[in-house]
């Protein structure tokens, strides 16, 4: 087991945001975390990524306890993360952005007198190749289509060769075809690199089309866990989503 989360609890005042959550994730697996608004998805993510410390419970990566470590320490142990908000430098080229990520992975800080442009150019190009962005390496990030920025961010997240990648709503704001393309690529990279991927997602076309397994959170508790086809048929899950209609419709909200 690559990631093992056991008995995780986190409360904010009287609100049990995450209430006795346990799950695991294998190498190369795409695991979707879904649930209605306020279910505890972001809190779970932040507990795994080190942005929050749990009240109790354990988060182990390849047997090592990570609960309570700082985000930087969690990152060093091999957990990468992409965010909803684009985290690229708009004025730098696509290639330079990936070179910056490599500098950071190597524990070196960008400085004006050591130009990122000299750092591991071939490795940066290889990362861009792996996400289909090598042809646009010299363009500034500001000139890219939104879907392409997401691919660059993926290449940047891969720069320190994470064992586990956390993706917080990776396809937010994308058109349906782009969403599926990005997650198909993510799945291919997960398989090739034997990297586990935990992602939150509101688009059910992505969840049911791409995830290997799905976790359903409702009011901080794990309501169901299983293969996409089983989750889709699960009566308790359908009931929990009644009202929002999200999980039942063929088309995403």
Ligand X SMILES: Nc1ncnc2c1ncn2[C@@H]1O[C@H](COP(=O)(O)OP(=O)(O)OP(=O)(O)O)[C@@H](O)[C@H]1O
Q: SS3 of 53, please?
A: coil
- Residue with smaller CB distance to ligand X, 42 or 130: 42
Q: What is the DSSP letter of 251?
A: S
**Residue 39 phi/psi, 5° resolution?**
-70, -25
- Residue with smaller CB distance to ligand X, 38 or 226: 38
The whole-angstrom separation of Cα 221 and Cα 9 is 10
Rounded least distance, CB 144 to ligand X, Å: 26
Should residue 203 be labelled a site residue for ligand X when binding is judged by CB under 6 A? no
Question: Vertex 81, ends 80 and 85: CA angle to 5°?
Answer: 155
Should residue 53 be labelled a site residue for ligand X when binding is judged by CB under 6 A? no
Sheet of 56-61, strand order:
15-25, 3-12, 56-61, 64-65
Rounded least distance, CB 145 to ligand X, Å: 26
Rounded least distance, CB 53 to ligand X, Å: 12
- Per-residue interface string for the shown chain with ligand X, residues 32-51, x marking contact by CB under 6 A: ---x-xxxxxxx--------
Should residue 15 be labelled a site residue for ligand X when binding is judged by CB under 6 A? yes
What is the pairing mode between strands 164-168 and 196-200? parallel
Rounded least distance, CB 15 to ligand X, Å: 5
Contact residues toward ligand X (CB under 6 A) are 12, 15, 17, 35, 37-43
């Amino acid at each position: 087991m690559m990631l093992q989360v056991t008995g995780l609890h986190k409360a904010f005042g009287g609100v049990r945001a995450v209430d006795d959550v346990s799950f695991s994730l294998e190498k190369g697996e795409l695991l979707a975390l879904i649930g209605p608004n306020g279910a505890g998805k972001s809190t779970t993510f932040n507990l795994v990524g080190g942005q929050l410390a749990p009240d109790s419970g354990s988060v182990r990566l390849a047997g090592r306890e990570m609960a309570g470590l700082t985000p930087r320490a969690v990152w060093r142990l091999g957990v990468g993360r992409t965010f909803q908000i684009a985290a690229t430098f708009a004025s730098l080229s696509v290639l330079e952005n990936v070179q910056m990520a490599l500098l950071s992975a190597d524990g070196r800080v960008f400085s004006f007198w050591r130009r990122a442009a000299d750092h591991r150019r071939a490795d940066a190009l290889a990362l861009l190749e792996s996400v289909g962005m090598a042809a646009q390496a010299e363009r500034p990030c500001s000139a890219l289509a939104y879907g392409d920025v997401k691919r660059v961010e993926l290449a940047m997240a891969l720069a320190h060769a994470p064992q586990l990648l956390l993706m917080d709503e990776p396809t937010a704001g994308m058109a349906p075809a782009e969403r599926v393309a990005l997650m198909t690529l993510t799945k291919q990279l997960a398989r090739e690199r034997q990297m586990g991927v935990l992602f939150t997602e509101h688009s059910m076309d992505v969840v049911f089309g791409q995830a290997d397994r799905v976790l359903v959170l409702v009011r901080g508790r794990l309501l169901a866990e299983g293969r996409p086809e089983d989750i889709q048929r699960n009566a308790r899950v359908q009931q929990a989503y009644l009202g929002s209609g999200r999980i039942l419709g063929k088309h995403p909200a």
